[in-house]
Amino acid sequence: MGDAGKGKSYKYCIVPKCRSTSVKTPNKIFITLPRDPKVRMRWQKAMKRVNMISNHATCFVCEDHFNLEEDMQNYLYFKLMENVQIKIKPNVLPRVFDCQISRTEKRSKKVRSAFLKRQYQSIPDENFAKPSTSKTSRDGDAYEEPDLANSDLGQTHVKKRIQVNITPKMVSKEV
């Protein structure tokens, strides 16, 4: 059902957005697409191919889209011997598609920079702006005396930031 990918012919992976070729990655294993039309159609649907490939064309899928240890019938024999034909288990389909962005975004969510900026802005600046008013008692214990004169209890302050785009006025020369 497949071959070791060590031949001299040019091979490329037919999974959309996969850039693996036998030139760029010569040590990569390329597995031949099955000849059975029903199985071939299932493989192509799993890859989310828009244009289906003819049953007569010889096409390849690279090892990146399989878990070879689980998906191959003769994995140990393949690893120990040279020039062994790859045998994929009967009901196995390509299932790893890290090259397709829409599938990888669903698995790994990145923290957006706007969210981080809002979190940073929500941290109160009060602790950094006020000078310390700590004193020591007769016992030697430190305590902080509240500053009631400058207290703004009950009042809320809203800090707003705006962005201004100032461009110099251009004077055109008249010829």
| Closest to 71 measured CA to CA, from 94, 40, 49, 104 | 94
Collect all residues with Cβ–Cβ distance below 8 Å to 104 and sequence separation of at least 6: 97, 98
pLDDT tens profile 111-164: 677 777 777 777 765 555 555 555 555 555 655 655 555 555 555 666 777 777
Residue 69 lies in a domain: yes
Residue 164 lies in a domain: no
The number of distinct structural domains making up the chain is 1
pLDDT tens profile 41-73: 998 888 888 888 888 889 999 998 888 888 888
In degrees rounded to 5, what are phi and psi of residue 99?
-75, -20
Residue 54 lies in a domain: yes
50/16 Cα distance (integer angstroms): 9
Residue 174 lies in a domain: no
Look up tokens 């957006």; give the residue: 112
Residue 140 lies in a domain: no
Residue 2 lies in a domain: yes
Domain span including residue 24: 1-97
Residue 34 lies in a domain: yes
8 Å CB contact between 113 and 82? no
- Of 75-79, 81-85, 138-142, the least confident: 138-142
Residue 148 lies in a domain: no
Specify the pLDDT at position 60. 92
Could you tell me the pLDDT band of residue 23, with boundaries at 50, 70 and 90? very high
Could you tell me the pLDDT band of residue 5, with boundaries at 50, 70 and 90? very low
30/96 Cα distance (integer angstroms): 14
Structure tokens at 135: 């004193």
- Of 16-25, 45-54, 92-101, 141-150, the least confident: 141-150
- Residue 29 above 80 pLDDT? yes
